[in-house]
Amino acid sequence: VCGSPGRLQPSLLLLLRLVTTKKEHIMKNLRLVMASSIFALFVLKAHGFAAPKNSRLADEAVSIFQTAYPKKEPFKASAWTSFGVPGYDIDGTPIRKAKKGEQRRRLTDISEKQCRASFKALAQVYGQDEALEITRTMPIILSFDNQWFGPSYKEWSRIFGADEAKAMVLRNPGLLAVRPENAATATDQTMNFSYIVAYTRPFSKILLPGLLFLLAVPAMEAVTGVSIRALLFNF
C-alpha cells in the first residue's frame, strides 16, 4: 500500500473518496450556516430587532436630550452674574455669589451615562414607552434628580391613585422635579393644573410672548404716553 496511488487497493481508494466527500460536505454546510447567520443578522437589524427594546428607547431618549441641549463650553460667571444679589437671605443665611471667571455647572451639563440612568429610573416607575413620551415632551427631565422619581410617584399614588398619578405626570412632566416630601402635600390643584399645562402646551410659543407683552404694556404706556390698552379695546 506504500506505492503510487494507481497501485492502491480498491477498498483503500473507496475509503479515501468517502473521507474526501465527507470533508467537502461538512465545509459546504459550514459555509451555508455562516451565510445564513450573516443574512439573519442583516434582516434583524433592518427590522429593528438588533438591540433590545429598552436599549433602543434609551438611545432615542439620549438623542432627544442631546439635540435639545447640545454640549457647550462651561458657563463662566461675569461681573453681572451677582449684580443686585443681596449678601444675606431673608432668614439671615449668607448667599454665595459667583466670582468673576468662575466656572459654574448648568442643570443640563450631564453625561450620556447620567442620561441613561435617569431614563432607566423613569422607565422603572412609569414604563418604557411612557418614559420616552415624557422625554419627548420635556427633555430636561433627564437632568432632574432621578432618585425622586419613585418616591414622589408613590406619594401621588397614595393621594390620587396609581393610574391617575401616572396620567398626571404624563400631562405635566415638570412634576418630576418635585421632591418626595413636597409631593406628599399635593392637592386637587396639582391635578387640575396638570390639565391646564397639557391643554396650553401646543400654544406655549404664542402664550409666553403674549404674556410678556401684556406685562410690559404699563411700562410702554408710561414711556410713550400712549394708552395702548385703550387702542386694543377700541379696535
Model pLDDT, residue 1: 44
For the chain, the residue count is 235
Model pLDDT, residue 54: 72
Residue 156: left (phi > 0), alpha (psi -120 to 50), or beta?
alpha
Full-prediction pTM beyond 0.85?
A: no
Model pLDDT, residue 143: 95
Model pLDDT, residue 25: 62
Window from 20-29, 56-65, 141-150, 174-183 with minimum mean pLDDT:
20-29
C-beta of residue 165 within 8 angstroms of C-beta of residue 157? yes
pLDDT above 90 coverage of the chain, percent = 45
Instruction: Say yes or no to pLDDT of 191 above 70.
Output: yes
Per-residue model confidence as pLDDT tens digits over 70-121: 987 665 555 555 555 666 666 666 666 556 555 567 889 999 999 999 999 9
